[in-house]
């Protein structure tokens, strides 16, 4: 009998961390992580095992396939939008081939044990591409089917992987004698920028908001790389993790789509700084614009519509911008940096 597990790729990353924390708090003890480097103690203490390896390594995935019975996969490994622009081909390999490998593993598993494997895929507002700032301000909160013209390699990768998820869930090898539809149950959220109280992101373009608050708390200087009026949606890590759990727990027949927008608040970078300054009046933050990163933010929506997630599986964010600071970020961040 193979041991039944939950597989988490990119377990050392920001969402991986948040996910391990909350699954462990829910009593889940059969998590296996994979990441390129050794997991930190926090993750090691809460997972059954963490494998150091690459999701592009088919031998490693073969070993996992042979050793474990996979109930569900949370596929968090990815190269984010800024990093992907420096190495687009590598980003494509990790973001697309890596996802394909894990979808294939999910299908092999489901075919061998005969039970559906649930697959969570974090997509992103990067799948959207708004042609200019005038349009960005006039269109309002955009729906899942609007403006899917990504301008980054990462956005292209995420959009294509959403389609791969649909293919593996519904149309896999449809010419063969066996019907494989429903064996993989792919579910995805298009995340906005995520702000964690515990960790800092690496390689994203929405990173300016979390970098601002963490720098202020550490009493360090920070130069924000986008204009004060730059606006995209955000949410707290705790809401992001809640959204994953709600979506994964929803009955399949409640879901009217495979990919959902979720968001909580959408301050401009200047508004974000104003709130940071109410907590850290001496915060040493200026704006030195990186035009290329600014252009990426300009192409992302100022707001997204998450009505379908609300309707289908009861989504609503717990933290608006004020609560994000007062109830989530500040208590944790204060105790973290003020003791050091
Ligand atoms: C990034 O900035 O690349 C990510 C994202 C919005 O998906 N945080």
pLDDT tens string 16-32:
999 999 999 999 999 99
Instruction: Report the alpha-carbon distance of residue 263 to residue 124 in Å, rounded.
Output: 11
Residue identified by tokens 């500040």 is 330
- The model's confidence at residue 274, banded by pLDDT at 50, 70 and 90, is very high
pLDDT of 185 strictly over 80:
yes
With a 6 Å cutoff on the Cβ, whether 124 touches ligand 1 is yes
Q: Can you give the pLDDT at residue 222?
A: 98
Residue whose CB lies within 8 A of the most ligand 1 atoms, among 124, 225, 259, for a mutation test:
124
Instruction: Report the alpha-carbon distance of residue 166 to residue 10 in Å, rounded.
Output: 22
With a 6 Å cutoff on the Cβ, whether 80 touches ligand 1 is yes
With a 6 Å cutoff on the Cβ, whether 237 touches ligand 1 is no
Strands 193-195 and 68-75, by their bridges, are: unpaired
- Report which protein residue has its CA nearest ligand 1's atom 6: 193
Mean pLDDT across 294-312: 98
Give residue 81 CA to ligand 1 midpoint distance, Å.
6
Encode the chain in three state secondary structure. Answer: CCEEEEEEECCCCHHHHHHHHHHHHCCCCCEEEEECCCCCHHHHHHCCEEEECCCCCHHHHHHHHHHEEEEEEEECCCCCHHHHHHCHHHHHHHHHHHHHHHHHHHHHHHHHHCCCEEEEEEEEHHHCCCCCHHHHHHCCCECCCCCCCCCCHHHHHHHHHHHHHHHHHHHCCCCCCCCCCCCEEEEEEEECEEECCCCCCCCCCCCHHHHHHHHHHCCCCEEECCCCCCECCEEEHHHHHHHHHHHHHCCHHHCCCCEEECCCECCEHHHHHHHHHHHCCCCCEEECCCHHHHHHHHHCCCCECCHHHHHHHCCCCCCCHHHHHHHHHHHHHHHHHHCC
Among candidate residues 335, 217, 318, the one with its CA nearest the CA of residue 277: 217
Q: Can you give the pLDDT at residue 17?
A: 94
Degrees to nearest 5, angle at CA 250 with 248 and 251: 120
| Mean pLDDT for all residues in the chain | 97
Share of the chain above pLDDT 70, in %: 99
Instruction: Report the alpha-carbon distance of residue 298 to residue 131 in Å, rounded.
Output: 9
Beta carbons of 295 and 236 less than 8 angstroms apart: no
Give residue 254 CA to ligand 1 midpoint distance, Å.
28
pLDDT tens string 148-172:
999 999 999 999 999 999 999 999 9
Instruction: Report the alpha-carbon distance of residue 23 to residue 44 in Å, rounded.
Output: 14
Q: Domain spans of the chain?
A: 78-338
pLDDT of 178 strictly over 90:
no
pLDDT of 115 strictly over 70:
yes
Residue whose CB lies within 8 A of the most ligand 1 atoms, among 95, 153, 194, for a mutation test:
194
pLDDT of 1 strictly over 90:
no
Is the pTM of the predicted complex or chain greater than 0.95? yes
- The model's confidence at residue 339, banded by pLDDT at 50, 70 and 90, is low
Could you tell me the two tokens for 108?
């092999």
Mean pLDDT across 188-211: 97
Indicate the length of the chain as a whole number.
Answer: 340
Mean pLDDT across 266-295: 98
In words, the CATH class of domain 78-338 is: alpha beta
Q: How far is CA 14 from the centre of its chain?
A: 9
- The model's confidence at residue 340, banded by pLDDT at 50, 70 and 90, is low
With a 6 Å cutoff on the Cβ, whether 151 touches ligand 1 is no
pLDDT of 128 strictly over 90:
yes
Encode 267-302 in three state secondary structure. Answer: CEHHHHHHHHHHHCCCCCEEECCCHHHHHHHHHCCC
pLDDT of 109 strictly over 80:
yes
Among candidate residues 95, 86, 140, 124, the one with its CA nearest the CA of residue 304: 140
pLDDT of 81 strictly over 80:
yes
Beta carbons of 51 and 60 less than 8 angstroms apart: yes
pLDDT of 317 strictly over 60:
yes
Give residue 68 CA to ligand 1 midpoint distance, Å.
32
pLDDT of 288 strictly over 90:
yes
- Report which protein residue has its CA nearest ligand 1's atom 4: 204
Could you tell me the two tokens for 182?
């429903």
**Ligand 1 atom nearest residue 125's Cα:** 6
* Given 68, 74, 128, 154, the catalytic residue: 154
Give residue 195 CA to ligand 1 midpoint distance, Å.
11
Q: Is 260 annotated as catalytic?
A: no
Give residue 54 CA to ligand 1 midpoint distance, Å.
21
Mean pLDDT across 66-87: 98
Residue 203 region by backbone torsions, left for phi larger than 0, else alpha for psi between -120 and 50, else beta: left
**Ligand 1 atom nearest residue 84's Cα:** 3
Share of the chain above pLDDT 90, in %: 97
Q: Can you give the pLDDT at residue 8?
A: 98
Q: How far is CA 110 from the centre of its chain?
A: 24
pLDDT tens string 222-247:
999 999 999 999 999 999 999 999 99
Q: How far is CA 84 from the centre of its chain?
A: 15
With a 6 Å cutoff on the Cβ, whether 152 touches ligand 1 is no
Mean pLDDT across 102-124: 97
Residue whose CB lies within 8 A of the most ligand 1 atoms, among 86, 150, 191, for a mutation test:
191
With a 6 Å cutoff on the Cβ, whether 240 touches ligand 1 is no
């Amino acid at each position: 009998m193979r041991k039944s597990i939950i597989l988490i790729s990119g377990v050392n990353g920001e969402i991986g961390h948040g996910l391990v924390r909350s699954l462990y708090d829910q009593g889940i003890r059969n998590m296996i992580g994979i990441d390129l480097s050794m997991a930190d103690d926090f993750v090691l203490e809460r997972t059954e095992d963490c494998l150091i390896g690459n999701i592009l390594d088919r031998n490693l995935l073969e070993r996992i396939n042979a050793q474990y019975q996979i109930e569900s996969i949370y596929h968090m490994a990815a190269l984010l939008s800024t990093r992907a622009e420096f190495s687009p081909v590598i980003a494509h390999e990790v973001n697309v081939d890596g996802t394909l490998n894990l979808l294939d593993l999910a299908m092999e598993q489901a075919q061998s044990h005969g039970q559906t494997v649930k697959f969570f895929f974090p997509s992103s507002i990067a799948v959207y591409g708004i042609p200019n700032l005038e349009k960005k301000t006039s269109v309002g909160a955009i729906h899942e089917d609007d403006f899917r013209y990504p301008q980054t390699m990462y956005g292209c990768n995420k959009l294509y992987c959403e389609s791969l998820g649909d293919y593996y869930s519904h149309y896999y090898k449809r010419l063969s004698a066996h019907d494989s539809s429903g064996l993989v149950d792919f579910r995805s959220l298009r995340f906005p920028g995520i702000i964690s109280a515990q960790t800092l992101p690496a390689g994203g373009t929405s990173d300016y908001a979390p970098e601002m608050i963490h720098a202020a708390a550490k009493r360090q200087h920070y130069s924000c790389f986008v204009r004060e009026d730059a606006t995209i949606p955000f949410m707290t890590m705790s809401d992001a993790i809640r959204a994953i759990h709600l979506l994964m727990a929803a009955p399949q027949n409640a879901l009217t789509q495979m990919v959902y927008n979720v968001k909580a608040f959408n301050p401009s970078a200047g508004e974000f700084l104003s709130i940071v300054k109410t907590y850290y009046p001496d915060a040493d933050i200026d704006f030195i614009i990186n035009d290329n990163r600014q252009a990426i933010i300009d192409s992302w929506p100022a707001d997204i519509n998450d009505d379908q997630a609300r309707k289908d599986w009861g989504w609503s964010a717990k933290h608006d911008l004020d609560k994000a600071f007062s109830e989530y970020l500040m208590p944790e961040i204060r105790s973290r940096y003020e003791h050091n």
